[in-house]
Amino acid sequence: METEQGYREVIREICARLGYDVIDPWLREKIIYRKDEPCWWNSVPTADFVRRDLEDAEKCDVMIVYLPIVSAGACMEMFYAKHFLGKKVVVVSDLDCLSPWIVTHSDVILKDFGELEKALQDLFQPKT
* Residues 90/63, Cβ–Cβ less than 8 Å: yes
Alpha carbon separation from 36 to 4, 32, 33, 39, 61 (Å, rounded) = 14, 12, 9, 10, 35
pLDDT digits (tens, 9 = 90+) for 34-79: 556 666 566 667 788 789 889 999 999 999 999 999 999 999 999 9
Counts for the chain of helices (H) and strands (E), in that order: 6, 3
Q: Where are the domains of the chain?
A: 7-123
Q: What are phi and psi of 112, to 5 degrees?
A: -155, 170
Residue 125's pLDDT is: 73
Bridge partner residues of 89 (DSSP): 63
pLDDT digits (tens, 9 = 90+) for 100-114: 999 999 999 999 999
SS3 letters for 61-115?
A: CEEEEECCCCCHHHHHHHHHHHHHCCCEEEEECCCCCCCHHHHHCCCEEECCHHH
Residue 105's pLDDT is: 97
Contacts 24+ apart (CB under 8 A), 100-107: 101/75, 102/67, 102/70, 102/75, 102/78, 105/78, 105/79, 105/81, 106/65, 106/78, 106/82, 107/82
From the candidate CATH numbers 3.40.190.10, 1.20.120.160, 3.40.250.10, 3.40.50.450, the one assigned to the domain spanning 7-123: 3.40.50.450
Q: Positive or negative, the Cα torsion across 109, 99, 79, 105?
A: positive
